[in-house]
Chains A and B, each alone.
Chain A
């Protein structure tokens, strides 16, 4: 039966046996286990083929590309303004970070200065988005690990952020809020009272979530010391964001490649010690606390002004290239934009954190038990459209 099992049209030639060239021939104890492309633990359309020896993972081959939409080719046929809504759809959980990186790149190409108020609004939005994304990760990860209650708590708090973002931008996930030079419209009048209320309440909510999931004895038993990746390997695999910082590497784009008004704020960058699954979870909890610290400072120092710069109606940057990166919830989210002086970019390359983080999966998983696979994959916080683009 082994030879005849295929998975969809795109894998006509790829069967369970397709990896025999690179892996040692399966002995009688070894078997191949297919997970995905549709499986609750993969959080999207991706597939892994695992070589198992009993319940020990011997090797793992990820298959990606099921939601590849050819966005980079599409971008070459769109004007600079038309690209903004597409960037939302590469990572539906951090649309704002993607917008941010893209419009910042175009602004740098144009040499456009944006008002201080726009910078503050961007930081506010980006940090709210980071908290919302981490909350959704926590909720889904809890479900993966068999904890249902944190899901309810996390969604209660996330709903508050999402409805604030909705009030400001009109969208809940794919917000399409940013424009080159500013925003599509100003923050609504009720925004700051709501934000103030949220900030005063959320600190306690994070503590709740921390106790409920991350400090929970069962959770700790399942994640402590599981799925360790050392600092050198993590860097070599190009990991960024919480996954890298868990491995004791202090790198954060907000501090190390400063952009916008982040240098004005005082915040800490949580760094894990062991690079295991628990550290990756802990770093995200700490990041939510630090986002709260940034939000508070941004709210207090929020300046008066205009919500957009005087940007040209037709965006036609001079020939040149730029790489602009922001710290998204999953790591370094960057756009490499090459302009040839026309209204459409010559090439846009999206550097996405999940792509690099996921490529390290075989390295992390080898030698672990099958039950750890779900724990490790969840802790990488993968967003599949971001891998495939």
Chain B
């Protein structure tokens, strides 16, 4: 049984650039898209991060980036870690992790349709929540649709 402190130490050894962002106590690790699968598998197998709490994305047009966020939790040490991947907004592409964490299958389908990220090797790349004939990716900041009208700013 590994404690949260030991987990934290092992994380620091493998990822020297570990950081803690304001407010949320979980450590953040940024990895390259090509190294994502290898690192998530390592976290699951070596540090017992067996539970992918959720994965989602953040659209950052100012930096011309889409940032993927994977939040992992370990049932053994009760530690959390956030793994981030930064992708270019055009042609955002990352390998799927749905074979490492089965729950990623649906989360990736949702992220793909909402943010326009391609998950290479995904077993079922259909849309999950959106209508099949909807063009565009609604959670991108510059999404526009004839039915979408911006509210006047609150005073």
A contact set with B: CB distance below 8 Å: 9-14, 22, 64-65, 68, 70, 72-73, 77, 79, 108-109, 111, 232-233, 235-238, 249, 251, 256-257, 318-323, 325, 332, 334, 336, 338, 343, 346-347, 349, 351, 355-356, 359-360, 363, 388-389
Task: Give Cα distance in the complex from A109 to B127, angstroms.
Answer: 33
| Given known A-B contacts A235-B75, A257-B78, A322 and B129 have beta carbons under 8 A apart | no
Please tell me if the beta carbons of A77 and B150 are within 8 angstroms of each other in the complex.
Answer: yes
- Of A10, A13, A68, A356, which is within 8 A of B106 by CB? A356
Q: List 23 A-B contacts (CB under 8 A).
A: A12-B132, A14-B132, A64-B128, A65-B127, A65-B128, A65-B129, A72-B114, A73-B143, A77-B151, A235-B50, A235-B75, A236-B102, A237-B102, A238-B54, A256-B78, A321-B23, A323-B24, A323-B26, A323-B71, A323-B80, A356-B106, A359-B102, A360-B102
Please tell me if the beta carbons of B105 and A359 are within 8 angstroms of each other in the complex.
Answer: yes
- Of A257, A320, A351, A388, which is within 8 A of B21 by CB? A320
> Chain A's nearest CB lies how many Å from the CB of B117?
14
- CB within 8 Å of A: which B64-86 residues: 69, 71, 75, 78, 80
Closest partner residue, chain A, to B100 (CB atom): A236
Determine if B91 is an interface residue (Cβ-Cβ < 8 Å): no
Please tell me if the beta carbons of B54 and A336 are within 8 angstroms of each other in the complex.
Answer: yes
Task: Give Cα distance in the complex from A79 to B151, angstroms.
Answer: 12
Please tell me if the beta carbons of A108 and B23 are within 8 angstroms of each other in the complex.
Answer: yes
Task: Give Cα distance in the complex from A373 to B47, angstroms.
Answer: 36
B80 / chain A contacts, CB cutoff of 8 Å: 257, 323
Please tell me if the beta carbons of B133 and A321 are within 8 angstroms of each other in the complex.
Answer: no
A235 / chain B contacts, CB cutoff of 8 Å: 50-51, 75
B143 / chain A contacts, CB cutoff of 8 Å: 73
Determine if B15 is an interface residue (Cβ-Cβ < 8 Å): no
Please tell me if the beta carbons of A236 and B54 are within 8 angstroms of each other in the complex.
Answer: no
Please tell me if the beta carbons of B58 and A13 are within 8 angstroms of each other in the complex.
Answer: no
Task: Give Cα distance in the complex from A322 to B80, angstroms.
Answer: 12
Count of CB-CB pairs between chains A and B under 8 Å: 105
Determine if B22 is an interface residue (Cβ-Cβ < 8 Å): yes
Please tell me if the beta carbons of A338 and B22 are within 8 angstroms of each other in the complex.
Answer: no
Task: Give Cα distance in the complex from A351 to B52, angstroms.
Answer: 11
Please tell me if the beta carbons of A236 and B50 are within 8 angstroms of each other in the complex.
Answer: yes
| Given known A-B contacts A12-B133, A236-B103, A238-B52, A319 and B128 have beta carbons under 8 A apart | no
Interface size bracket, B side:
35 or more
Closest partner residue, chain B, to A338 (CB atom): B58
A320 / chain B contacts, CB cutoff of 8 Å: 21-24
Q: How would residues 23 to 34 of chain B score, 1 for a CB under 8 Å from any chain A CB and 0 otherwise?
A: 110100000000
Determine if B5 is an interface residue (Cβ-Cβ < 8 Å): no
B interface secondary structure, majority? loop
Determine if B131 is an interface residue (Cβ-Cβ < 8 Å): yes
A9 / chain B contacts, CB cutoff of 8 Å: 131
- CB within 8 Å of A: which B110-155 residues: 114, 123-124, 127-133, 138-139, 143, 150-151, 154
Please tell me if the beta carbons of B53 and A349 are within 8 angstroms of each other in the complex.
Answer: no
- Of A65, A236, A346, which is within 8 A of B130 by CB? A65
Determine if B101 is an interface residue (Cβ-Cβ < 8 Å): yes
Pick from B24, B105, B130, B151 the residue with the most CB of A within 10 Å: B24
Please tell me if the beta carbons of B24 and A334 are within 8 angstroms of each other in the complex.
Answer: no
A389 / chain B contacts, CB cutoff of 8 Å: 129
Task: A236-B50, A321-B22 given; name 5 further pairs at CB < 8 Å.
Answer: A237-B102, A320-B23, A346-B58, A349-B56, A389-B129
A346 / chain B contacts, CB cutoff of 8 Å: 58
B151 / chain A contacts, CB cutoff of 8 Å: 77
Closest partner residue, chain B, to A351 (CB atom): B54
Task: Give Cα distance in the complex from A256 to B151, angstroms.
Answer: 41
Please tell me if the beta carbons of B138 and A109 are within 8 angstroms of each other in the complex.
Answer: no
A359 / chain B contacts, CB cutoff of 8 Å: 102-103, 105-106
> Chain A's nearest CB lies how many Å from the CB of B96?
14
> Chain A's nearest CB lies how many Å from the CB of B81?
12
B71 / chain A contacts, CB cutoff of 8 Å: 323, 336
B103 / chain A contacts, CB cutoff of 8 Å: 236-238, 356, 359
